[in-house]
Amino acid sequence: MTDLAVTEMARARVRSQELREQIQRHNFRYHVLDDPEVSDAEYDALLRSLREFEALHPELIDTFSPTQRVGAAPAAGFAEVVHRVPMLSLDNAFDDDAVRAFDKRVRARLDTEEPIDYAAEPKLDGLAVTLRYERGHLRNAATRGDGAVGEDVTANVRTIRSVPLILRGEVPELLEVRGEVFISVAGFAEMNRDATERGDKTFVNPRNAAAGSLRQLDPAVTASRPLEVYFYGLGAIEGAAAPATHTELLAALRGWGLRTCPDAGPVRGAEGCLTYFRALGARRVELPYQIDGVVYKVDQRQQQEQLGYVARAPRWSIAHKFPADQAETQVLDIDFQVGRSGALTPVARLVPVFVGGVTVSNATLHNMDEVRRKDVRVGDTVFVRRAGDVIPEIVSVRLEARPADSIPADLPTHCPVCGSSVLRDQGQAIARCSGGYGCGAQRKERLLHFCHRRAMNIDGVGDKLVDQLVDAGLVSTPDQLYRLDAKQLEQLERMGEKSAAKLVTALEASKSTTLPRFLFALGIRDVGEATARSLANYFGSLTSLQAAGCDVIQQVPDVGPVVASRLFEFFSSELNRQIVAGLIEAGVHWNESAGLSVAEGPLQGRTVVVTGTFAGLSRSDIEQQLRVHGAKVSASVSKRTNLVAAGQNAGSKLAKAQELGVEVIEEQQLRELLGLPAGN
């Protein structure tokens, strides 16, 4: 290349960068600051100039150019993304008293009578996403999925104009942010106008339209939809300290060029939350986006960590839902559905009615106590709403419209699916079928639970396949899954040779598991993942647990008399013992020490908190290994904490440990305690 050519290339590179920076600045001012400096026509002219310039110099094009937002070919499907930090759901509050009760729980756990500082923000009615930026560049975007695993929608998210491809200013080495993709009210109206003009089917509501648009296999289709995003949370951060409050986090996000909701703000105490809720509710119809409530978050990050989590929701946040829309319809029938645990749930079959953006034809009545309390009968005219804008429920009955021939609902004495006796424990609201695996409804639900990713993790087994296997008489209990061969599977509808072979491979791979997973997979009533882990830790082997009486099982931490009786009854059943024996005979196995504390050691019985990042080790791997060595893993540091394992970029948990005088160890010491090889 001649000197002249080198000079021309340098000038082209400079001009290209100038145009990109101008466009990125205007994007920031338009989408984040809502304060554009130029007209739409001027912005379009800049973008057109960059496209023309890149056409002349294609060697200067890279994936982060504003012209490359739609650059991917249609995908055959979405790859799975395992979230580095789980995307948790929120508990709901439907009235003022529930918000005050939440605030009372927060203050009790923090041991303070002082009003708590909260951050309040609209609960957008869209689709949750997580975006990962590395050195300020967008690398990955995924949907929430089940909270642990989502779908890779990077190509589609890149098409959203309010998503920066490159962050501004000094940014962390790694930043994982959480946000909500939505369609504005105006954008939704325009979409439907365009669809009507084309003669296409219109969309029912903005949320469904946003979810469907983001999950298009062709990014060009996504780009044609008016998707927007507001960011509201932090997944992970490396190379910088996390902001001390949620309010400061939102400010930091805006500084990096990430759009946040302008209606979010700090409030104080429960009454501050409720005042914000009422004020926003009064403006709800005027807002440019749809919301279904308000989210309150404890503002101080240190207090969030101290409060920790319960199940799959944080203790430091709650969603306060607006009252749902109601509609009037008629009850055609009341029948009973049977779930995995045998619970009979009364369900009202309704004359279809449009409410809250969807057509509702069924509404759960929860249990017979609820049926009696609301006095719902076949033939009644009822008011229906979508609880939390999701689950249809009957609010009340129009008693003055009740026909003379209305029919009260009665709890069946025998299961509507298998005919087994229906039992209802004294003082319990829920009635249950006694059929177990002998009940077709329970059989399918139990098999699905057994195959679930958090149980035996049998990839490729879903509702439709289980329906086929059970209906064809191939499988009725979990152990029979492992007797299936490829030829049997190939006979099923939509199951070709490759799919059958893949499922056989998945079944074989699932045989190697852990005792906690195995116990959870058995679907014993009231035995969740945490209880299964406690049982495995305490007994150390399946044989010991099977031989234990109720009094012994009750000695397990967090296991009371009810759960102990459930376990004793399960392992006393001849059918259940045959199933367990059949699974082991089929080759299901585990290392008795995997996930268990089987020997005394320096970590036995100690409460450990893990904070920061560790080379080549995920948080879940570390916590699993700690449990193997008999430690109890906690999410927050307190006076009861015995040890804190601090990796790189450890934050407020480390500071809290130092303040309380809790012993702190670094990564190498942790590896030595766990018997792991030294890190790089």
DSSP annotation string for 172-196: -SEEEEEEEEEE-HHHHHHHHHHHH
Specify the fold of 3-68.
Helix Hairpins (1.10.287)
Say which CATH class 326-408 falls into. Answer: mainly beta
Lowest mean pLDDT among 252-266, 362-376, 389-403: 389-403
pLDDT for 16: 75
Angle between helix 561-572 and helix 574-585 axes, rounded to 10 deg: 70
Q: How far is CA 265 from CA 31, 277, 294, 516, 596, in A?
A: 19, 12, 11, 43, 45
State the pLDDT confidence band at 34, using cuts at 50, 70 and 90.
Answer: low
CA quadruple 606, 610, 615, 618: dihedral sign: positive
Closest CA to 342 of 390, 412, 391, 408: 412
Q: Is the pLDDT of residue 36 over 50?
A: yes
pLDDT for 44: 64
Which amino acids are annotated catalytic?
123
* Superfamily classification of domain 92-321: DNA ligase/mRNA capping enzyme (3.30.470.30)
State the pLDDT confidence band at 226, using cuts at 50, 70 and 90.
Answer: very high
Tell me the pLDDT tens digit for each residue of 40-69: 567 666 777 777 767 777 777 767 677 665
CB 215 within 8 A of CB 78: yes
Per-residue buried b or exposed e for 422-434, using 16+ beta carbons within 10 Å of the residue's own CB: beeeeeeebbbbe
Specify the fold of 607-674.
Rossmann fold (3.40.50)
Tell me the pLDDT tens digit for each residue of 646-655: 887 777 788 8
Chain centroid, CA 85 distance in Å: 11
Is it true that domain 515-590 has CATH number 3.30.450.20? no
> What percent of the chain clears pLDDT 90, i.e. is strictly above it?
45
* Superfamily classification of domain 436-510: 5' to 3' exonuclease, C-terminal subdomain (1.10.150.20)
CA quadruple 230, 235, 236, 240: dihedral sign: positive
Q: Of 194-208, 218-232, 383-397, which has the strongest mean pLDDT? A: 218-232
**Could you give the CA distance from residue 678 to residue 668 in angstroms, rounded to a whole number?**
6
pLDDT for 199: 74
Tell me the pLDDT tens digit for each residue of 552-571: 898 887 788 889 998 999 99
Q: Is the pLDDT of residue 201 over 80?
A: no
Q: What are the residues whose beta carbons fall under 8 Å from the beta carbon of 127, sequence distance 6 or more?
A: 143, 144, 180, 181, 182, 207, 210, 211, 214
Tell me the pLDDT tens digit for each residue of 297-330: 999 999 999 998 876 789 999 999 887 778 899 9
Domain locations along the chain: 3-68, 92-321, 326-408, 436-510, 515-590, 607-674
Do the strands 643-646 and 607-611 form a parallel or antiparallel pair, or are they unpaired? Answer: parallel
Q: What are the residues whose beta carbons fall under 8 Å from the beta carbon of 224, sequence distance 6 or more?
A: none
Neighbouring C-alpha atoms within 13 Å toward the C-beta of 168: 21
**Could you give the CA distance from residue 344 to residue 424 in angstroms, rounded to a whole number?**
10
What is the full DSSP assignment across 318-355? EEEEPPPPEEEEEEEEEEEEE-TT-BEEEEEEEEEEEE
**Could you give the CA distance from residue 92 to residue 406 in angstroms, rounded to a whole number?**
35
pLDDT for 597: 42
**Could you give the CA distance from residue 526 to residue 561 in angstroms, rounded to a whole number?**
12
Helix (H) or strand (E) holding 92: strand 92-93
pLDDT for 173: 94
Tell me the pLDDT tens digit for each residue of 621-672: 687 678 767 777 777 788 888 999 988 777 778 888 888 889 999 888 888 8
Q: Which one has a higher pLDDT value, 501 or 28? A: 501
pLDDT for 599: 44
Q: What is the largest CA-CA distance in the chain?
A: 98
**Could you give the CA distance from residue 262 to residue 254 in angstroms, rounded to a whole number?**
10
One-letter amino acid of 33: L
State the pLDDT confidence band at 594, using cuts at 50, 70 and 90.
Answer: very low
What is the model's pTM? 0.56
pLDDT for 500: 92
Task: Check if 436-510 and 515-590 are the same fold.
Answer: yes
Residue 516: left (phi > 0), alpha (psi -120 to 50), or beta? alpha
**Could you give the CA distance from residue 101 to residue 296 in angstroms, rounded to a whole number?**
13
